[in-house]
Amino acid sequence: MAASVRHLLKPWTPSLCLVRWSRYNSYYLDPDPSKDARVPDSELSPEQKELQELKTVRRIKAALSSDTSSPFSDPLMSKFINMMMQDGSKILARGIMTQPREEIECSPHSVFQQALENCKPIIGLASVQKGGKSYQVPVPLTDNRRGFLAMKWMITECRDNKHRRTHMYEKLSQELLAAFANEGNVVKRKHDLHRMAEANRAYAHYRWW
C-alpha cells in the first residue's frame, strides 16, 4: 500500500487510447465531503498518514451534486436512488425513496440499512467454461458487488412482481419491511442463490482466481 501510494506521486502523463474516459485525469483524487470525519493524527496508521500527505499535494475532484456534508446524507441511500433512477429523473427517484417515511414508523433509516443487509448474498455464481461445457461455479463476492446485487434485486422485484396499480413507494416500503423481517421475495432469491452455490460446490475447484 505504501509503495502504491508513493507511486501515485508521479505526475500524470496521458496514455494513448482513452476509450472510457473521464474529464478528470487519474492525477485527481476523490473528494471527502463529510464534515469532522477526521480521526486525530495519533490514531492514523502510517499508510493513512501517507494518504493524508498525498492529499495535500494532489488535486481533488469536485464534489458531486448529490453529496452534502450534512449527517442526513447517506452514501447507501444515494447509491440506491441512483440505481432506481430512470432516464435521469433524479427528482422522481428521490421522491419515491423519501415517501416511505410516512409508512414506516420506527427509524426508517436503520430499517432500510438492515433490510438491504438481509438481502445481501454471501456467495455468488460465475459461469466458467471448461471442456466445452459451462458450469456455474460458486465464487466469493466483493462487498461492492454484494451491495449492488441486493439493491438490484430489490428494485427489480419492486418493478416487476407487484400489482400494477400500486405506487412504487408503496411496493418499496412493503418489500423493505418484509426483508427486514427476513421474509419476502428478495430474501427468497438470496436463499435460492445460496442453495444453488451449495449444490454446485463440487465445481468450486474450477475457479482459478
Partner 1 sequence: MAASGCRGVRSILWKYGSYGKNLFVSRSKMVPQLPLRQIYVASSLWKKNLAAAGPQKFTQEFIDKQVEEFEVGKRHLANMMGEDPETFTQEDIDRSIAYLFPSGLFEKRARPVMKHPEEIFPKQTAIQWDAEGRPFHFLFYTGKQSYYSLLHDVYEKILAIERHQDKMRNKGLFTSDTKQILLTGSRWLLKEEIEENLVENISVQDYMRLIQLMELLLSMPYCSLEEEFILKFRKQLEVQSSKYEIPALQYDPQGVAFSVADGRRKSAKASITLRDSGSGNITINGRNYLHYFPVLQNREQLMFPLLFVGMMGRFDIEGSVEGSGHSAQAGALRLAISRALLSFVSEGEVEKMRQAGLLTADPRIRERKKPGQEGARKKFTWKKR
Q: Interface residues with partner 1 (CB under 8 A)? A: 9-11, 22-24, 31-35, 53, 55-70, 73, 90-91, 94
Output the CA–CA distances (angstroms, integers) from residue 171 to 11, 87, 165, 177, 183, in the order listed.
Answer: 50, 21, 10, 10, 15
Closer CB to partner 1, residue 59 or residue 207? 59
Residue closer to partner 1 by CB (options 29, 141) is 29
CB of 27 to partner 1, least distance (A): 11
Quick one: 70 or 142, whose CB is closer to partner 1?
70
Q: Which is nearer to partner 1, 55 or 162 (CB)?
A: 55
Measured CA to CA in angstroms, residue 98 lies from 123, 131, 133, 143, 184 at distances of 31, 51, 47, 25, 22
Give least dist CB 146 to partner 1, A.
27
Q: How far is the CB of 200 from partner 1 (least distance, A)?
A: 32
- Residue 9 contacts residue 57 (beta carbons within 8 Å): yes
Neighbours of 58 (CB within 10 A): 13
Cβ closest to partner 1, residue 10 vs residue 163: 10
Minimum Å gap between C-beta 70 and partner 1 is 6
CB of 20 to partner 1, least distance (A): 9
Placement of cell 421474509 in the chain: 183
Compute the half-sphere exposure of residue 121: CA atoms within 13 Å on the CB side of its CA. 27
